[in-house]
Structure 1
């Protein structure tokens, strides 16, 4: 016993000294220290808590054709027996690639003896990954079958491209923020990395946690999904109608400065409109006539004029220090003599510029100081990468008292929105202050940070200027802006249901060094205002850039009208009992589709419908079926749903249910007409392939 013990001690000493370096090298190959563990990125939520961006797992799938050793006969025989079944299964999951193509691809990897051969080139969702993992061989452990994967936290937007440029995106391969709120609040959303130590025991690595990852927090934005969708549809419809190149629409809540919707559309090479650039905060263009409100506010606030002041605009053309200034109706003889309010109502270039030139021509510094005072030059310091503050230059003199950056024509043209650069968001903030009784609010995009359902940080509304002008000036400007819509050039923005106030604007867009005379002219058409004018709740700006004529600010005013009426309609509180009419048919006609929704409405109308189902949609999914209607009886008949890879029968459905039923299966849909579906181009039961499109014809 003593001799054995002595031998053990000597051996231990030998290993610990002479062989120490060798065994330390072996240990280093079996242990990996400080391996990063990525946290889950926080969500971006709408103002009412709906997901606008979220991290969901995605997977890349690989095969190790040497799993279990180089001479594994069991593995090879199993692969040869199941390879055809595997390839057929992959074809069913990825129909764009045939089973034969899958087999050639996998056999190539097997011939090369690859240990990391991609089963599919791109990332797949968890559901697709789960289907692949059920296939033969792939359902074995990585050590036996060779199927293994890499997991990523991919960013998904449940509402698609809605507010994409403001919400932001990630570089997919790096999982790093690109732009928008994703980039501005990256430190909050990202969380903190964790650390693990990985030690190899036999043929497996065991993970030993050193530091747990800290998942990112959620940010709650001010975006209202319903208003955002409404504004986007209204703007795109008009852009297509007038062949616009760029369109911007921003909706702000008057009291808080909350941005409820922000749309930035650019026409791309395929003729469709996408969010490419956040033009609302970054476009530095000459604003045009919407700037006239600021000019006259300075004059009224300084007391150099009042609302009874009159100005001669002549026949619509006026010489301004050798340059010709024109009103939009110069070819019809102009406006002659106008009162100060009428210069805004009819958007007279000559009227506004003559007033400003008369009282500030010899002291332009005072005018620009007035612009500072009312807040139109304010740097809003927005948390959006790419934001550009307004550029309105201040006159400067040299030592001899001569202006070095100023000319006699600068002030007249500046007063009507040229020789300045103001992004749409700054113009809207100024008009929002007018609606908010003179208090200027900083535009707010994020109102809170949440973690595990608890608010951990709030971003309250911020006041930039408590008062932008005198009370008397404010009331006069509010009244004039209301008259612009009720009796001036902004009538298209008005509504018979509520009062609207605002200002139209049309500006030529200079083409850099080519100036304003370089062939086809581009125009910036704007309307900015607030509603309801007597108790403002929302302010809104719409800007459309388009080439050539016709170029009317009425295009933007019409978009404003559609947005305003849509928002106000969402606020209506109606009693469902008012829907009953003693002179009409008592039982309304019901379209096929989601029977749960139909049954819900019928119950609240006090109408009992015969049903052949008693299912409870506790999982939130609709119950599909047909509605059989007669003036005295309503039958809601449940029909079994078709397979997810087959086209369903959507005839008789409304547009909403039909589009949902098709697009959830990956089919792109185009709709013509209105009412209910009477024809579908892809027949029911058609096996769905990637890229399939279905045209629906609707009739009343």
Structure 2
């Protein structure tokens, strides 16, 4: 055991930092709603490509699609528009934006009972507030880093109606008779979003799966919300052609019980995106949960099949 490579024991879901990309956009939408910078009916421009502080920012499909014009907030998430997200978060003073990110723990550890946790990393406040490119890139999930577990916690806060809880895998210490001997000390839940904001974002995540980049996550008879992510991978402080793709889902959409996240580090192929690589993983896990937990369909009419009676010959 002691001769094993220590790297084999690393749980990168709690120890490795990564830039979440577009899977962080729902969190930013929630922040903008809470700070009254937008409403769900707000319309934002999407030129396809803009410059912030001299730096170009463009949508992933800019070269094929160009700008999409005016977008509602649900459409911003459904199309995963980087440009519209920059416009949205620019409505918030950088100091207020930074304060909210800090409140969400983006400079801290999650605080679970899992070992070797790594704290999220956000740029220093002076840099964030004095350089417009920092809040601009944060608007679409780049320029800062967190662990996969931390992103699950944040999406869980939206699924929980705005209350953020500390995730745990251990309830306490039990003896051989199943009697609880010591309960794990847990942080009390704390409200980070209003119920109204959470419900609005959940509804938008449902639209992403219904008609946006998450359409391939649909499961007949059920409803789930989700967000794809395809982020450039930073190595040595610079971005190259390597990617981290991901998909995060909230299920069931009507009464969320699960947040499911798949992160794929450096997928291969030109068609490697969150929608093509990560969604199949989350969909498979969701289908397994439906079977294991016996979750009934919310739309059973989609599962009904009408069969014609077989003819009888004598």
Q: How does 1:212-251 map to 2 (within 5 A)?
A: none
Assess if the C-alpha contact under 8 Å between 1:502 and 1:529 holds in 2: yes
* Alignment RMSD: 2.6
| Match in the other structure for 1:346 | 79
TM-score by length of 1: 0.40
- Shift in Å, 1:539: 1.2
Q: Which structure dedicates a bigger proportion of its chain to strand?
A: 1
How far apart in 2 are the matches of 1:464 and 1:414?
A: 26
Cα distance change, pair 436–461 in 1 and its aligned pair in 2 (3 A): farther
| Match in the other structure for 2:111 | 381
How far apart in 1 are the matches of 2:128 and 2:68?
A: 35
How far apart in 1 are the matches of 2:62 and 2:104?
A: 31
Give the secondary-structure state (helix, strand or coil) at the position aligned to 2:286.
helix
| Match in the other structure for 1:499 | 223
Assess if the C-alpha contact under 8 Å between 2:94 and 2:129 holds in 1: no
- Shift in Å, 1:448: 2.3
- Shift in Å, 1:385: 2.7
Give the secondary-structure state (helix, strand or coil) at the position aligned to 1:446.
coil
Question: Does residue 327 in structure 1 map to residue 59 in structure 2?
Answer: yes
- Shift in Å, 1:559: 0.6
| Match in the other structure for 1:440 | 164
Give the secondary-structure state (helix, strand or coil) at the position aligned to 2:101.
helix
Give the secondary-structure state (helix, strand or coil) at the position aligned to 1:557.
helix
Q: Which structure dedicates a bigger proportion of its chain to helix?
A: 2
Of 563, 568, 585, 2:290 maps to 568
Assess if the C-alpha contact under 8 Å between 1:295 and 1:371 holds in 2: no
Assess if the C-alpha contact under 8 Å between 1:294 and 1:376 holds in 2: no
Extract structure 1 runs of 4+ deviating beyond 6 A.
none
How far apart in 1 are the matches of 2:10 and 2:201?
A: 33
Give the secondary-structure state (helix, strand or coil) at the position aligned to 2:39.
coil
- Higher relative contact order at CA 8 Å, sep ≥6: structure 1 or structure 2? 2
How far apart in 2 are the matches of 1:559 and 1:373?
A: 31
- Shift in Å, 1:276: 5.3
How far apart in 2 are the matches of 1:427 and 1:524?
A: 14
- Shift in Å, 1:375: 5.2
Assess if the C-alpha contact under 8 Å between 1:368 and 1:394 holds in 2: no
Assess if the C-alpha contact under 8 Å between 2:44 and 2:70 holds in 1: yes
Give the secondary-structure state (helix, strand or coil) at the position aligned to 1:516.
strand
Give the secondary-structure state (helix, strand or coil) at the position aligned to 2:171.
strand
How far apart in 2 are the matches of 1:533 and 1:394?
A: 36
- Shift in Å, 1:452: 3.3
Deviations 1:235-273 (A, max 9, x none): xxxxxxxxxxxxxxxxxxxxxxxxxxxxxxx9xxxxxxx
Question: Does residue 301 in structure 1 map to residue 34 in structure 2?
Answer: yes
Of 112, 117, 137, 1:413 maps to 137
How far apart in 2 are the matches of 1:300 and 1:308?
A: 11
| Match in the other structure for 2:182 | 457
- Shift in Å, 1:568: 0.5
Deviations 1:530-565 (A, max 9, x none): 111111121111000125522210111111011001
| Match in the other structure for 1:427 | 151
How far apart in 2 are the matches of 1:486 and 1:374?
A: 28
| Match in the other structure for 2:304 | none
How far apart in 2 are the matches of 1:280 and 1:460?
A: 22
Unaligned runs of 5+ in 2: 297-308
Q: How does 1:93-492 map to 2 (within 5 A)?
A: 171=2, 277-314=10-47, 316-331=48-63, 332-357=65-90, 359-360=91-92, 363-374=93-104, 379-396=109-126, 406-453=130-177, 454-459=179-184, 462-465=187-190, 467-492=191-216
How far apart in 2 are the matches of 1:379 and 1:573?
A: 33
Give the secondary-structure state (helix, strand or coil) at the position aligned to 2:239.
coil
Cα distance change, pair 470–394 in 1 and its aligned pair in 2 (3 A): farther
For this pair of structures, how many residues does the alignment match?
A: 294
Of 254, 260, 264, 1:544 maps to 264
How far apart in 1 are the matches of 2:17 and 2:295?
A: 41
Give the secondary-structure state (helix, strand or coil) at the position aligned to 1:507.
strand
Unaligned runs of 5+ in 1: 1-169, 180-265, 267-274, 397-402, 575-582, 585-700
- Shift in Å, 1:277: 2.6
Give the secondary-structure state (helix, strand or coil) at the position aligned to 2:266.
strand
How far apart in 2 are the matches of 1:405 and 1:368?
A: 8
Deviations 1:475-521 (A, max 9, x none): 111111111111111112221121111211110001215x114xxx2
- Shift in Å, 1:334: 2.8
How far apart in 2 are the matches of 1:533 and 1:388?
A: 30
